[in-house]
Amino acid sequence: MILDDLKNAARYESVHPRFKKAFDFLLNTDLNALPLGKTEIDGSDLFVNVQEIVGKSADEAKMETHKKYIDIQVPITAPETMGWISVNNLKETTQEYNPEKDVAFFADKATSFLNVLPYQFAVFFPEDAHQPGIAQGQLKKVIVKVLL
């Protein structure tokens, strides 16, 4: 898991071969002007999902994991809290892994919480179970999906 400001993204370009292209997109695009839904950057290897969500409490937000993609999550219009727990500590599956959607859900609770401000980013790898969407009111966010 990584948490930082977008202006520091260059420090992380070497972590994965697709990160430079992902961060270039995030830094050189008017993220608030992106339409809702999917925007491809490099086909299914690298794409963006833009969402407007209504924030949930920590009790309502779902813990999730991915096996094929790394998430780079960027709140745009409001702060968002994201829970974290190691995949190794998950015990209670609520929805088995769906390979088409690359997601599984769990009832487990986060052991740590990140307060992610607008235009900061959180990177979640497959070993990072995460609980996004903890916020007050409505917010727009960008999720970059990076194929492993």
pLDDT, average across residues 12-31: 98
15 pLDDT band, cuts 50/70/90, is very high
Nearest C-alpha neighbor of 52 from the set 129, 144, 133, 115: 133
Walk across the sheet containing 120-124 and list its strands. Answer: 2-5, 120-124, 69-75, 138-147, 46-54, 37-42
**SS3 per residue for 116-128:** ECCCEEEEECCCE
Nearest C-alpha neighbor of 115 from the set 62, 59, 73: 73
Helix (H) or strand (E) holding 24: helix 19-27
Q: Compute the distance between CA of residue 42 and CA of residue 37 in angstroms, rounded to an integer.
A: 16
Residue 102 gets the label, from left (phi > 0), alpha (psi -120 to 50) or beta, of: left
CATH number at residue 36: 2.60.120.370
Q: Which domain, by its residues, includes 84? A: 2-147
Q: pLDDT of 34-72, one tens digit each?
A: 999 999 999 999 999 999 999 999 999 999 999 999 999
Tally the domains of the chain.
1
Output the pLDDT for position 96.
Answer: 98
CA atoms within 13 A on the CB side of 104: 19
